[in-house]
């Protein structure tokens, strides 16, 4: 099956999606057996080809940028769509970094010898076929292709229609790199239509697709969670908290809070909600309010906060549940650690929550009590990230509990099989 033959207009879209998924499945059986050398060769070659063709990619991106207002994209969305020479260079560099990471396939994760002499190995293998759905940012095409390929998975990419030209230009180059390296071009596919129904069809094909990863806004993730018949790796909301305990070093606390909120407010691990121990209302709270104001952060506080910070607005219930992704923070004064834990478990999104404290016992109670993918003690929430936690490149941060939690790198894109070696053992 030739990929260009799969996508032939919008007639019989279901059959086209099925053909696409079946091709991926067929090729995925071989991808798991590629050596690290074969995989890294492709990654490095693709990086070079992308560099050589940067001009062509940026031109295609220009077409998307010009069409953007016609799609009703906001300024922020058009910025996400924009590929600058720097952004492209960073994505290309990402492929080289993936090449430098160890091969996640074939790793013996555990092994034991049973009393009857059986040798039992637990060996990592690729998941198989991954459907990757994303929006706006065309550089994600490069990241996703690189991570899925290195982890031995066949991938079906489906970007947003607003990034069609950019994604197609990148995809053609990735394809050329596969052909040059004599790897079946179907290892990396891109859905060849912007028709919305294609996603619906693909989400039914659990026999051929092992995992779907939606990366985008809440409405995309909710639609996928509702319709998908295969597992979904969700990167959901990040309503991240910092609890400022009673015993603290105020300089450290201020530094961590400002960094968590302001260093990059538009990302999922940025601080959105502050819980402050009641002992701080007269000293640290005013100091912090001042520091936040200097940085241009709008404060929405509980009644006590507003009493001590005249510039603050009253927070609503919605504020405590909000993922602002901009220079706004909600603040609530709490009586004790337990109230902070209860608040976080109620309003939070199980993404990243931090405590600032000098008291070991309180740090431990916080770690135990808060049910989030990452719990941080005395550091910025912004560290919850694949690179910062030492996983290398990541495909997203899972807010699910099943399979993988927190940053998902190469290893999280694999599963395992049991390999049992005997010499004639039978069960009595």
Which residues sit at the interface with a copy of itself, rule CB under 8 A?
29, 32-33, 112, 114, 118, 120, 125, 127-128, 210-211, 225-226, 229, 231, 249, 252, 255-256, 259-260, 263, 345, 363, 367-369, 371-380, 382-384, 388-390, 400-403, 405-407, 415-427
Residues 145, 178: contact at Cβ < 8 Å? no
Q: Which is nearer to a copy of itself, 29 or 59 (CB)?
A: 29
Q: Smallest distance from the beta carbon of 122 to a copy of itself, in angstroms?
A: 8
Q: Which is nearer to a copy of itself, 82 or 235 (CB)?
A: 235
Q: Smallest distance from the beta carbon of 400 to a copy of itself, in angstroms?
A: 8
Q: Smallest distance from the beta carbon of 370 to a copy of itself, in angstroms?
A: 9
Residue with tokens 């129904």: 197
The single-letter DSSP state of residue 232 is B
DSSP assignment of 266-312: TSTTSEEEEEEEGGGTTTHHHHHHHHHHHTT-EEEE-HHHHHH-TTP
Give the contacts of 303 (CB within 8 A, at least 6 positions apart).
Answer: 314
Q: Which is nearer to a copy of itself, 5 or 86 (CB)?
A: 86
Q: Which is nearer to a copy of itself, 41 or 380 (CB)?
A: 380
Q: Which is nearer to a copy of itself, 177 or 256 (CB)?
A: 256
- Residue of 287, 327, 331, 325 whose CA lies nearest to 313: 331
The dihedral region occupied by 240, where left means phi > 0, alpha psi between -120 and 50, and beta the remainder, is: beta
Q: Smallest distance from the beta carbon of 417 to a copy of itself, in angstroms?
A: 6
Q: Smallest distance from the beta carbon of 241 to a copy of itself, in angstroms?
A: 14
Q: Smallest distance from the beta carbon of 266 to a copy of itself, in angstroms?
A: 14
Q: Name the E strands within 108-247.
A: 108-113, 119-126, 129-134, 154-158, 188-190, 211-215, 240-244
Q: Smallest distance from the beta carbon of 170 to a copy of itself, in angstroms?
A: 28
The single-letter DSSP state of residue 402 is S
Q: Which is nearer to a copy of itself, 96 or 405 (CB)?
A: 405
- Residue of 31, 22, 29, 32 whose CA lies nearest to 1: 22
- Residue of 414, 41, 34 whose CA lies nearest to 233: 414
Q: Which is nearer to a copy of itself, 52 or 207 (CB)?
A: 207
């Amino acid at each position: 099956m030739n990929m260009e033959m799969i996508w032939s207009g919008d007639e019989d879209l279901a059959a086209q999606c099925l053909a696409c998924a079946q091709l991926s499945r067929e090729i995925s059986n071989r991808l798991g057996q590629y050596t690290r050398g074969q995989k890294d060769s492709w990654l490095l070659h693709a990086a070079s080809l992308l560099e050589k063709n940067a001009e062509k990619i940026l031109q295609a991106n220009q077409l998307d940028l010009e069409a953007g207002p016609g799609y009703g994209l906001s300024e922020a969305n058009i910025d996400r769509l924009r590929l600058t020479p720097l952004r492209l260079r960073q994505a290309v560099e990402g492929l080289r970094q993936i090449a430098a990471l160890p091969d996640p396939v074939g790793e013996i994760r555990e092994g034991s010898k049973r009393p009857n002499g059986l040798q039992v190995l637990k060996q990592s293998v690729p998941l198989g076929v991954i459907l990757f759905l994303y929006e706006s940012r065309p550089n994600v095409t490069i990241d996703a292709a690189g991570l899925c390929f290195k982890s031995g998975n066949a991938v079906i990419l489906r970007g947003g229609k607003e990034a069609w030209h950019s994604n197609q230009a990148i995809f053609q180059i990735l394809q050329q790199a596969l052909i040059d390296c004599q790897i079946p071009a179907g290892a990396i596919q891109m859905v060849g239509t912007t028709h919305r129904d294609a996603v619906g069809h693909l989400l039914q094909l659990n026999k051929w697709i092992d995992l779907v990863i939606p990366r985008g806004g809440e409405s995309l993730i909710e639609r996928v969670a509702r319709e998908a018949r295969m597992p979904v790796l969700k990167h959901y909301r990040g309503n991240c908290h910092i609890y400022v305990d009673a015993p603290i070093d105020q300089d450290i606390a201020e530094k961590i809070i400002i960094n968590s909120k302001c260093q990059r407010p538009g990302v999922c691990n940025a601080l959105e909600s502050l819980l402050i121990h009641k002992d701080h209302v007269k000293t640290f709270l005013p100091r912090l309010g001042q520091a936040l104001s200097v940085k241009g952060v709008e404060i929405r506080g509980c009644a006590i906060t507003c009493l001590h910070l005249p510039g603050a607005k009253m927070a609503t219930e919605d504020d405590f549940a909000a993922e602002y992704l901009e220079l706004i923070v909600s603040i609530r004064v709490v009586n004790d650690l337990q109230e902070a834990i209860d608040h976080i478990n109620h309003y939070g999104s199980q993404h990243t929550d931090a405590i600032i404290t000098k008291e070991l016992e309180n740090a431990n109670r916080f770690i135990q009590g808060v049910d989030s993918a990452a719990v941080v003690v005395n550091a910025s929430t912004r560290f919850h990230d694949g690179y910062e936690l030492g996983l290398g490149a990541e495909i997203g941060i899972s807010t699910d509990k099943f399979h993988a939690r927190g940053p998902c790198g190469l290893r999280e894109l694999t599963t395992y099989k049991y390999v049992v070696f005997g010499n004639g053992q039978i069960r009595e």
